[in-house]
Amino acid sequence: MGIVNLTPDSFYDGGRFQNIDDVINYVVKIVEEGADIIDLGAISTRPGAKEVTLEEEESRLMPVLKKISSIFPDIIISVDTFRSQIAKMAVNNGAHIINDISAGNFDKDMFSVISELQVPYIIMHIQGNPLNMQNNPVYKNVTTEVIEYLSEKVEILRKLGVNDIIIDPGFGFGKTVEHNYELLKNLEYFSIFELPILVGLSRKSMINKVLGTTPENALNGTTVLNTYAILKGANILRVHDVKEAEETVKLLNSTNCL
């Protein structure tokens, strides 16, 4: 899954695109590099990110989504949003997947809208919200609590007739560095759901705080953690660097260990 941030303030690549043509050229590049899914996001969810209105999210997202879906009808497009209204607009204009960092917590109508739309739905664990999630996150047992949280969401969704669910443990969303590595170490436990597991480790602070790097030079650390995640059962890598992630998967496949 190749990340396409349509935001001016994302932690790594905010403000990369000046116009729609820049976005299209970038999408062409990452598809050629091996991206199976394009994940469009119009709101930064980095720690401390400022709130964005629905109207602003729509104005950033919809022109790009419409253009990409018309030019590349075969590309699978995911839209990263926690708003049900945006989810509905997105699917009606060419999106195939909704990626919700809040798993329905930020919009009470999201689950019913997903049930109506019948599209694949990514649910992620988060403690708090982007404004406060890194203010001293606390767990008794982070792996158990994240699994219980996702289990409750999956149960509700299945009762609503939503069965095409992808789970995301939410690395970096309301978790300390130690919490993140504990989750990664125990990633195989999430196979209990018998659902695809998505991981978003790309250039995150859990790498930088250990290695003393910045997001700009955290590619090597990202590749190491992506490799480990795949070996632990991850099915989808959400990444900024598609070429390197694709090479990681190819090399692991060559070892016949997957």
| Closest of 122, 180, 176, 129 to residue 154, by C-alpha | 122
- CA 213: distance to chain centroid? 22
Residue type, 33: E
Would you call 204 a catalytic residue per the annotation?
yes
CA proximity to 38, closest of 82, 90, 86, 107? 90
Structure tokens at 175: 């978790």
CA atoms of 28 and 83, how far apart (whole Å): 27
CB atoms within 10 A of CB 118: 12
Asked whether the CA dihedral 115, 166, 188, 233 is positive or negative, the reply is: positive
**Annotation says 238 is catalytic:** yes
Catalytic residue selected from 46, 204, 209, 250: 204
CB 202 within 8 A of CB 2: no
The Cβ of residue 177 has, within 10 Å, a number of other Cβ atoms equal to 15
From the candidates 66, 153, 238, 250, give the one annotated as an active-site residue.
238
**Residue 177 to residue 30: CA distance in whole angstroms:** 29
- Catalytic residue numbers read 204, 238
